[in-house]
């Protein structure tokens, strides 16, 4: 499989009292010009105002947090700014930037690499869901297995060690604590946005009958199912064997991915909370969780896509 390299947000890096003029960081020039050091495009600015702090009598400190983030790759840097009112000089303030700078640590990965940790893969796909078309068949199964295991609270058993080998129409089994099979699962990785056809769903229903499994989940990375395929659960429920069939398309899979990652610790810089309100120059408000760990292109004014 062809390898596709991506810069993935894998952590954060702090610089204590950075002096930009000293060239302490490789991206210092990029910060001055407000461009992304990875993509060389303009950064988006967001701010969060902190509670004011009284200092000595007559002095009040106003503080706010600022993040500038790339609308393409999601790289960001974060800082704290402050202003202090000067009672002896009405209408004037003293402004300072506290350069304890924090920025996103990016690591270049090959999507489709089976050794990539599932947590890293999930975090990247929340930001760039279209990259699901670049996954290997094994990664697609791993992704679905991790989400279904969390969603249903049960163990997952893989039918074959090789995701590309014949599986008889069933890829995974969801198993209860006592070992009883709860659901059969078929995973289809699609590299085009075409709708999932009824043919594969019918094949899966046939495999369920042969394996005597009453409940099944058909998962596709395609964005949706055809109308004929969408009618299959009702037909399966009314058939002689009365099968219960769930269809999970790419849109629903993304919802499950966001729900799963929303419950996990986020990679946030100091002083940032998941549900803080951050505001951009147009007055749009976004939460800290979505700003630092979501798809920033939703707030960029245009859906930027990588080649």
CA dist., res. 122 & res. 128, Å (int)? 10
Look at residue 307 and tell me whether its pLDDT is greater than 50: no
Cβ partners under 8 Å of residue 291, min gap 6: 46, 67, 69, 278
Domains and CATH numbers, the chain: 4-109+266-298 (no CATH), 116-256 (3.40.1350.10)
Phi, psi of 193 (to 5 degrees): -80, 10
Look at residue 22 and tell me whether its pLDDT is greater than 60: no
Q: Is the pTM of this model over 0.85?
A: no
Look at residue 305 and tell me whether its pLDDT is greater than 60: no
* Mean pLDDT for all residues in the chain: 82
C-alpha dist (Å) from residue 296 to 44, 268, 271: 9, 15, 20
pLDDT digits (tens, 9 = 90+) for 147-193: 999 888 889 998 875 555 555 689 999 998 777 888 999 999 998 76
pLDDT top residue among 18 and 60: 60
CA dist., res. 120 & res. 265, Å (int)? 13
The average pLDDT across 246-251 equals 95
Q: Please tell me the predicted confidence (pLDDT) of residue 302.
A: 43
């Amino acid at each position: 499989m062809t390898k596709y390299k991506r810069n993935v947000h894998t952590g954060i890096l702090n610089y204590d009292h950075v002096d930009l003029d000293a060239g302490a960081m490789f991206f210092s020039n990029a910060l001055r010009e407000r461009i992304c050091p990875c993509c060389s495009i303009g950064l988006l600015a967001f701010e969060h105002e902190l509670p004011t702090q009284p200092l000595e009598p007559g002095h009040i400190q106003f503080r706010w947090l600022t993040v500038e983030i790339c609308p393409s790759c999601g790289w960001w840097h974060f800082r704290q700014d402050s202003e202090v009112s000067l009672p002896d000089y009405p209408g004037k303030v003293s402004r300072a930037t506290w350069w304890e700078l924090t920025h996103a640590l990016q690591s270049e990965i090959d999507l489709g690499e089976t050794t990539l940790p599932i947590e890293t893969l999930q975090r990247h796909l929340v930001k760039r869901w279209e990259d699901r078309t670049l996954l290997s068949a094994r990664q697609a199964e791993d992704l679905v297995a991790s989400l279904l295991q969390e969603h249903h609270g049960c163990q997952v058993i893989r039918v074959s060690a090789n995701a590309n080998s014949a599986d008889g129409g069933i890829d995974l089994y969801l198993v209860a604590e006592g070992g009883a099979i709860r659901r059969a699962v078929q995973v289809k990785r699609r590299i085009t946005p075409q709708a999932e056809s009824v043919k594969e769903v019918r094949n899966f229903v046939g495999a369920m009958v042969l394996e005597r499994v009453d409940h099944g989940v058909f998962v596709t990375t395609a964005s949706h199912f055809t109308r004929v395929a969408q009618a299959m659960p009702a037909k399966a429920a009314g058939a002689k064997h009365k099968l219960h069939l769930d269809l999970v398309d790419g849109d629903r899979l993304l919802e499950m991915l966001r729900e799963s990652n929303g419950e996990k610790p986020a990679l946030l810089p100091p002083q940032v909370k998941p549900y803080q309100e951050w505001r951009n120059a147009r007055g749009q408000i976004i939460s800290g969780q979505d700003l630092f760990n979501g798809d920033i292109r939703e707030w960029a004014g245009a859906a930027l896509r990588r080649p």
